[in-house]
């Protein structure tokens, strides 16, 4: 990696260690840290010069591939190259002998047209996805408020320059990276950058933190100001901001080829090898037998065309396109067609927590007041017995007091009040927003409450006091002012003298109250919830009259002697349907792990609610058994929580141990850690899917085999890095995507088995012509209309094939499951590749782009003669592949035998019954002048031409091949169940295909003058259809018998049942 790239891969920022004078000097700006509103800022002229010198404050859009280049990439895919090669050779042959090879002129054009059509289909799909994505993207910041020439002016965010003084307030997004020199209760949401869901306060002065992301005097581009206001100096713009640098880190990561790409390339190599080898062999045989170079070349070209399934590339592309469209209806946008199948093949799903698994919206869960523990909703949760909680009841003592404090002692507010509550946005701290949202659903007078009880004094929450206080004009028996407080439970409780207890009466705090408080607090916090305490004080009018002048500086307000009202717990709850979705993923054998920047306890608490973590960690087992953690055996542990601080020190053995667990959570991780986790999982053979919505997720999204971003809550950088986007942010859509991906894999597998089966019946007539001088039973043009006619239609019908069993696809193991044996085999093969010079050691700790290793041509040639690689080529494949030995046997040997025999018998039967020509006599005709168009009296006395006899026989072979393939269409439908019963008949597109295919084949054979162009005869009697139909029946029966025998010795691998999965809906999973 170059030094420039290394520099770009690091988040470089050290201004947080500078004081005000150093910032002013470094950025040539002027500001007043004591009276920010009087700051001078830059002059308009200086700002214009800097804008011209440094460019606009925008993130550089990702590089776009020019449409022409993109189309050429699609056109010169491996499969299309083979078709183009055939077309070129065909035209060369036409150039050598235009008269005898006239048909080659349009055969070549058809082959080239097919390759262009294949490329066009893929090109259009990619452009469509790109256009949809572009409509979601906005890499340009919105307007910003800057200080220019001592005046606040509103400018486009793109016009900000280094040294600009910027003003931000609650609800604004920071338009650049800012050094904060003035802050008034300013808090920001950095979850998009760090994964930390808690609001982060901003303070002024030199920071003591080394990590700039933890510095309290910096506000980053894209971070939302959720409370307060502040002034800052622009210290980074555009690509140099933290978000821009992370985007650069994303750009440096390269994806490895998708499994489908790898397997299709392997299939192409197999078919190309067979095609070229056969063509060369047949060319030599024909040349030495005939002595004619032109004849030998024509023969070799025919064989080459026969071996290449011209319609297969279009079939694969259209199958994937149809699946992508189907997924789009389920709000899943696929940017790369191969991603459709990749999602179905993943073995590990690494997901962010905040905004992906959870709503990123704090929600009230429990309330404790007046000795009563209540659920926040009207119903009791599933663990009510354990908590001894009561359903929510507004009339319970203390409940209304908590709601009043939540509504009045807050800085959160609605963006508008003229619409229903559920349609309003809340501006403010996430915790206060959660309290206000909850209160608004219960109190009908929420909009009038502030006017009814106006605020006369307030001290916002800060990190020193850890409480928020407000005083309101709310009359009571002894006065007209009421003080409300909420904050950290231990701080608030310490300031209280009384407590609301039985029947809502204030009672002096004694030990029993302290014990109850501590027990309840630990219970709530132990669930990973955020807990707040509430208190109040009825201010006596004798001491605090209604016009009393409270002063923060004078400290003339009460700080002790309060009455403790109660506790409230909040959490960022799981999204609806997430728990069931993760359960379905685990049932499908997919390892789901959480990778989050949040606290380990919070992450584990959420994980246990959503089926991600069911069993006990080592620490829990030790606590239950009252032993030390070191005494717990690793073999007894199947769940683990890893803190991000320990990741950098993990050894390879540690990583193996972590990934061997069934349930994994990584907490307090950085973008670098997420990327490292993905690389480590891939290095042991996992096919990794990564979900996320933040900028911090984007490097891992890019590196993953399949990155899945959220559309509504996701950042532009994450959406650009991902290969798939959930348009409705519904995590449950992933399950539908996995099902669709698995279905398309099996349907592709069926389609390929079907399509390639007809190749051998097309090649064998040429083989027997070369060896025995048998008449060629299928001409070159007829081969083309087989591949591009009914075969293409029939293959496409598999795109609409339903699953073989209703829930079977999501009960199967991933097609390439990772086990200790597969990891060992993968490492052995990597070591072999290193020894052969085909690979090198990978640095999994390395950030950013790693230079791609390309072995020299000489090394590649030498490797072809290595026994190691040849042994590997014929070794049993790990897991299930698109084309395995079983499929190869069916496609190239077993099924073709039935089809060839049926078609060849029909061919000879036509010659014998209609013309009296026996097989031996047909050989003599072939050797003595061939099948000429001259009138001829046949042995049975029938007068016609030899050309007509051959055309009629070839018609029988061609139409017979259609009939055999019609039966094969049903025989290839079943990979999990027997090809009998209702399932093979369910797809109505199959019947449409058969009707259309029969019509197409019928036109080719029976409609003059079209039949003349394809050298067929309309005089073929339907009686001869019976022979290939009989072969087709035998083929289906044989496929069922074969399936039963194979399943007897190699049963289907189903995913084992997971004990403890909770798949029944609850209020947490349905939102009710």
What are the catalytic residues? 352
Q: Are strands 496-500 and 562-571 parallel, antiparallel or unpaired?
A: parallel
Give the residue among 776, 734, 967 at the shortest CA–CA distance from 305.
776
Residues 54 and 161: their CA atoms lie apart, in Å, by: 8
Residues 142 and 762: their CA atoms lie apart, in Å, by: 63
- Sequence-distant (6+) residues with CB within 8 A of 573 are 358, 359, 361, 363, 365, 1068
Is the distance from CB of 130 to CB of 147 less than 8 angstroms?
A: no
- Please state whether 12 falls in left (phi above 0), alpha (psi between -120 and 50) or beta: beta
Residues 558 and 556: their CA atoms lie apart, in Å, by: 7
- Token digits of residue 658: 């972590």
- Helices 1026-1049, 895-915: axis angle to 10 degrees equals 160
- Token digits of residue 186: 């300013």
- Helix ranges (H only) for 162-233 are 191-194
Is the distance from CB of 723 to CB of 261 less than 8 angstroms?
A: no
- Please state whether 185 falls in left (phi above 0), alpha (psi between -120 and 50) or beta: left
Q: Is 98 helix (H, G, I), strand (E, B) or coil?
A: coil
Give the residue among 267, 320, 308 at the shortest CA–CA distance from 124.
320
State yes or no: cis peptide before 284, omega within 30 of 0: no
- Token digits of residue 284: 């030599």
- Token digits of residue 501: 């207890």
Is the distance from CB of 760 to CB of 777 less than 8 angstroms?
A: no
Q: CA separation (Å) from 604 to 317, 577, 581, 614, 959?
A: 42, 18, 18, 10, 64
- Sequence-distant (6+) residues with CB within 8 A of 807 are none
DSSP string, 1020-1046: --GGGGHHHHHHHHHHHHHHHHHHHHH
Is the distance from CB of 179 to CB of 162 less than 8 angstroms?
A: no
- Token digits of residue 959: 């139409």
The C-alpha angle with vertex 575 and arms to 572 and 579, in degrees rounded to 5, equals 110
Residues 979 and 970: their CA atoms lie apart, in Å, by: 7
Q: What is the CA radius of gyration of the chain?
A: 37
Q: Are strands 372-375 and 706-710 parallel, antiparallel or unpaired?
A: unpaired
Q: How many CB atoms lie within 10 A of CB 172?
A: 22
- Token digits of residue 342: 């990749």
- Helix ranges (H only) for 875-1020 are 885-889, 895-915, 919-927, 946-971, 988-1006, 1010-1013
Residue 334 dihedral angles phi and psi, to the nearest 5°: -100, 120
For residue 144, what are the β-bridge partners?
Answer: 155
Residues 811 and 1058: their CA atoms lie apart, in Å, by: 11
DSSP string, 452-477: HS-EEEEE---TTT-EEEEEE---BT
Residues 384 and 393: their CA atoms lie apart, in Å, by: 15
Q: Are strands 663-667 and 639-643 parallel, antiparallel or unpaired?
A: parallel
Q: How many CB atoms lie within 10 A of CB 30?
A: 16
Q: How many CB atoms lie within 10 A of CB 459?
A: 17
């Amino acid at each position: 990696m170059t030094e420039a790239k290394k520099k770009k891969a690091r988040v470089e920022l050290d201004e947080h260690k500078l004081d005000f004078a150093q910032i002013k000097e470094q950025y040539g700006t002027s500001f007043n840290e004591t009276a920010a509103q009087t700051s001078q800022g830059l002059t308009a002229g200086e700002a214009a010069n800097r804008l011209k010198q440094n460019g606009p404050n925008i993130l550089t859009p990702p590089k776009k591939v020019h449409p022409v280049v993109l189309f050429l990439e699609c056109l010169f895919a491996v499969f299309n190259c083979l078709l183009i090669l055939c077309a070129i050779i065909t035209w060369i042959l036409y150039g050598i002998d235009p008269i005898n090879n006239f048909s080659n002129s349009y055969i070549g054009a058809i082959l080239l047209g097919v390759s262009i059509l294949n490329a066009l289909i893929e090109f259009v799909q990619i452009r469509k996805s790109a256009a949809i994505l572009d409509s979601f993207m906005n890499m340009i910041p919105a307007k910003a408020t800057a200080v220019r020439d001592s005046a606040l002016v509103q400018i486009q965010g793109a016009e900000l320059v280094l040294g600009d003084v910027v003003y931000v307030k609650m609800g604004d997004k920071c338009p650049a990276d800012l050094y904060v020199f003035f802050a008034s209760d300013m808090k920001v949401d950095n979850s998009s950058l760090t994964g930390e869901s808690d609001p982060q306060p901003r303070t002024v002065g030199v920071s003591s933190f080394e990590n700039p992301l933890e510095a309290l005097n910096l506000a980053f581009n894209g971070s939302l100001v959720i409370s307060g206001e502040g002034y800052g100096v622009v210290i980074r713009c555009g690509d140099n901001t933290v978000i821009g640098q992370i985007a650069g880190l994303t750009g440096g990561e390269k994806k490895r080829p998708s499994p489908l790409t790898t397997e299709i390339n392997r299939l192409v190599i197999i078919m190309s090898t067979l095609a070229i080898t056969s063509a060369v062999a047949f060319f030599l045989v024909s040349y030495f037998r005939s002595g004619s170079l032109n004849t030998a070349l024509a023969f070799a070209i025919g064989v080459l065309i026969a071996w290449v399934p011209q319609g297969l590339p279009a079939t694969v592309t259209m199958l994937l396109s149809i699946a992508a469209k189907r997924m789009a209806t389920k709000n899943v946008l696929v940017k790369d067609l191969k991603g459709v199948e990749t999602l179905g093949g993943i073995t590990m799903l690494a997901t962010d927590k905040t905004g992906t698994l959870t709503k990123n919206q704090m929600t009230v869960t429990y309330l404790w007041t007046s000795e009563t523990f209540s659920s926040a909703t009207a119903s009791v949760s599933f663990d009510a017995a354990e908590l001894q909680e009561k359903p929510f009841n507004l009339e319970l003592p203390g409940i209304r007091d908590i709601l009043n404090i939540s509504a009045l002692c807050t800085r959160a507010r609605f963006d508008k009040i003229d619409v229903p509550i559920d349609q309003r946005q809340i501006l403010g701290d996430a915790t206060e927003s959660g309290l206000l949202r909850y209160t608004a659903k219960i109190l009908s007078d929420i909009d009038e409450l502030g006017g009814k009880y106006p605020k006369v004094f307030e001290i916002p929450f800060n990190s020193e006091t850890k409480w928020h206080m407000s005083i309101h004009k709310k009359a009571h028996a002894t006065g007209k002012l009421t003080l409300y407080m909420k904050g950290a439970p231990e701080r608030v409780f310490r300031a209280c003298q009384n407590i609301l207890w039985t029947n809502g009466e204030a009672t002096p705090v004694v030990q029993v109250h302290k014990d109850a408080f501590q027990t309840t607090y630990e219970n709530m916090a132990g669930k990973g919830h955020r807990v707040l305490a509430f208190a109040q004080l009825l201010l006596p009018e004798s001491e605090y009259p209604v016009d009393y002048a409270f002063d923060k500086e004078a400290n003339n307000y009460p700080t002790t002697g309060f009455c403790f009202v109660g506790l409230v717990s909040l959490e960022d709850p799981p999204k609806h349907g997430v728990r069931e979705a993760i359960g379905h993923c685990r049932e499908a054998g997919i390892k789901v792990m959480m990778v989050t920047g949040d606290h380990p306890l919070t992450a584990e608490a959420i994980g246990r609610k959503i089926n991600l973590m069911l069993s006990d960690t080592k620490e829990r087992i030790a606590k239950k058994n009252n032993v030390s953690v070191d005494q717990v055996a690793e073999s007894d542990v199947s769940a683990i929580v890893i803190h991000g601080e320990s990741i950098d020190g993990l050894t390879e053995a540690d990583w193996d141990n972590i990934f061997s667990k069934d349930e994994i959570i990584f907490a307090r991780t950085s973008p670098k850690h997420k990327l490292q986790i993905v690389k480590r999982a891939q290095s042991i053979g996992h096919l990794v899917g990564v979900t996320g919505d933040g900028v911090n997720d984007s490097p891992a999204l890019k590196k993953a085999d399949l990155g899945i971003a959220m559309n509504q809550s996701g950042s532009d950088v994450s959406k650009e890095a991902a290969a798939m986007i959930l348009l409705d942010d519904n995590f449950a859509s992933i399950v539908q995507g996995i099902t669709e991906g698995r279905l398309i894999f099996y349907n592709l597998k069926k389609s390929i088995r079907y399509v390639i089966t007809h190749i051998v019946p097309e090649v064998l007539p040429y083989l027997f012509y070369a060896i025995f001088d048998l008449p060629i039973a299928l001409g070159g043009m007829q081969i083309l209309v087989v591949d591009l006619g009914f075969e293409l239609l029939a293959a496409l019908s598999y795109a609409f094939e339903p699953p073989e069993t209703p829930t079977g696809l999501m009960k199967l193991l991933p097609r390439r499951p990772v086990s200790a044996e597969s990891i060992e085999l993968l490492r052995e093969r990597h070591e072999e590749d290193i020894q052969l010079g085909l690979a090198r050691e990978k640095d999994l700790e390395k950030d950013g782009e790693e230079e791609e290793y390309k072995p020299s041509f000489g090394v590649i040639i030498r490797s072809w003669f290595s026994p190691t690689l040849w042994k590997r080529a014929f070794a049993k494949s790990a897991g299930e592949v698109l084309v395995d030995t079983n499929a190869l046997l069916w496609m190239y040997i077993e099924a073709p035998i039935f089809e060839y025999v049926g078609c060849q018998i029909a061919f000879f039967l036509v010659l014998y019954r209609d013309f009296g020509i026996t097989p031996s006599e047909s050989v003599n005709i072939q050797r003595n002048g061939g099948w000429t168009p001259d009138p001829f009296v046949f042995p049975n006395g029938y007068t016609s031409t030899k050309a007509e006899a051959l055309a009629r026989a070839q018609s029988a072979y061609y139409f017979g091949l259609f009939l055999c393939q019609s039966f094969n269409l049903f025989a290839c439908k079943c990979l999990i169940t027997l090809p009998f019963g209702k399932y093979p008949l369910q797809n109505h597109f199959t019947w449409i295909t058969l009707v259309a295919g029969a019509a197409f084949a019928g036109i080719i054979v029976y409609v003059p003058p079209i039949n003349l162009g394809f050298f067929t005869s309309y005089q073929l009697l339907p009686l001869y259809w019976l022979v290939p139909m009989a072969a087709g029946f035998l083929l289906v029966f044989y496929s069922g018998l074969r399936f039963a025998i194979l399943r007897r010795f190699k049963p289907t691998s189903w995913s084992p049942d997971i004990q403890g999965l909770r798949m029944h809906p609850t209020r947490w999973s349905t939102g009710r």
